[in-house]
Amino acid sequence: MPNNIADLDDKALYLRVTWSKMINYASTFAKEFMALEDEFKSGKYSPEWDFERWLGMKCGMSYKLTYRMLAQVHRVATDAERERIKTATKGKAGRKKKVRTPAPPASPTPEAPSQAPQAPMQATQATQATVTQLRPQAQAQAQPAPNVVPMPTPLDRLAARIKAGIARANAGRQEWIEGQIDLCTALVEARDQFALDVEFGHWYDAQGFNFGRTARSNAITMGRKPDVLRKCLETTESLSIRLIYEANKAKFG
């Protein structure tokens, strides 16, 4: 004997509530995200910092991926709202048609109330108003595959850390040191994701990093001893990972 569908009422309520919370949270996040982007564009901070760089280095987030996810949430929300409006409009049109059509004189039939099916959960107006304002250039980059929200993989996050480390290395001396440490340790974690060097090499080359093979190998070796690496970076004037490694090779053996 099949189970009673009413047993799922609690789960249905849970899904409705969490869906609404998710949309509301996306709205709050989108407003804060865009407000911060506007702050950077206003020139409030040093020219060497732009929003995309700050987002990658300080938050570990991809600017393009974040916009793609916001655009996808907005698309789903507006699809639900359009369906709600369409359903409600059909219901109203049906009622008007019955009112205007005169009942047959012989046997008038009372009009049955028209009841539209329950609409999907309506997205909040704040979500629509906020996410609709996606910057034009970001909208062009933010076209996800239908019905798919691409989520960053562990390797995507490591690639972002490596790029952020390279960006920090192009800033001041202390930023350079911190950037090199993060770069080297992220390379270690990325290398350990692969069984073979050749597999790692293919992944690395696909990321477009401007970092030679020898320097990459040296960075991975030093990244396995981050405390030693920090001391070496703080006591050298060199900006070459290869030369720093050659001068301190015994410490990393």
Are 211 and 170 in contact, with CB atoms under 8 Å apart? no
| Alpha-carbon distances, residue 164 vs 52, 60, 236 (angstroms) | 10, 8, 22
Are 164 and 179 in contact, with CB atoms under 8 Å apart? yes
77-116 per-position pLDDT tens digit: 666 666 666 666 665 555 554 445 555 554 444 444 444 4
Listed range (19-28, 146-155, 196-205) with the worst mean pLDDT: 146-155
Query: How high is the pLDDT of residue 222?
Result: 96
CA atoms within 13 A on the CB side of 190: 30
Alpha-helical runs (H) found in the chain: 9-41, 51-59, 63-100, 125-131, 136-141, 154-169, 173-191, 197-206, 213-223, 226-234, 241-247
d(CA 32, CA 2): 48
46-84 per-position pLDDT tens digit: 777 788 888 887 888 888 888 777 777 777 766 666 666
pLDDT at 244 over 90: yes
Query: How high is the pLDDT of residue 235?
Result: 92
Angle, vertex CA 158, rays to CA 153 and CA 160, nearest 5: 95
d(CA 131, CA 142): 12
Are 34 and 55 in contact, with CB atoms under 8 Å apart? no
The rounded percent of the chain whose pLDDT value lies above 90 is 20
CA–chain centroid gap for 177, Å, is 28
Ramachandran class of 59: left when φ > 0, alpha when ψ lies in -120 to 50, beta otherwise: alpha
* Whole-number average pLDDT of the chain: 74
Collapse the DSSP code of 106 into the 3-class scheme (helix H, G, I; strand E, B; otherwise coil) and give the result.
coil
Whether this prediction's pTM lies above 0.75 is answered by no
pLDDT at 134 over 90: no
Are 69 and 98 in contact, with CB atoms under 8 Å apart? no
Query: How high is the pLDDT of residue 80?
Result: 64
Query: How high is the pLDDT of residue 29?
Result: 83
Are 224 and 192 in contact, with CB atoms under 8 Å apart? no
The alpha carbons of the chain give a radius of gyration, in whole angstroms, of 28
DSSP 28-89: HHHHHHHHHHHHHHTT-S-TT--HHHHHHHHH---HHHHHHHHHHHHHHHHHHHHHHHHHHH
pLDDT at 129 over 90: no
pLDDT at 243 over 90: yes
d(CA 208, CA 176): 20
Query: How high is the pLDDT of residue 93?
Result: 52
Which range is most confident: 3-7, 22-26, 56-60, 182-186? 182-186
CA–chain centroid gap for 4, Å, is 40
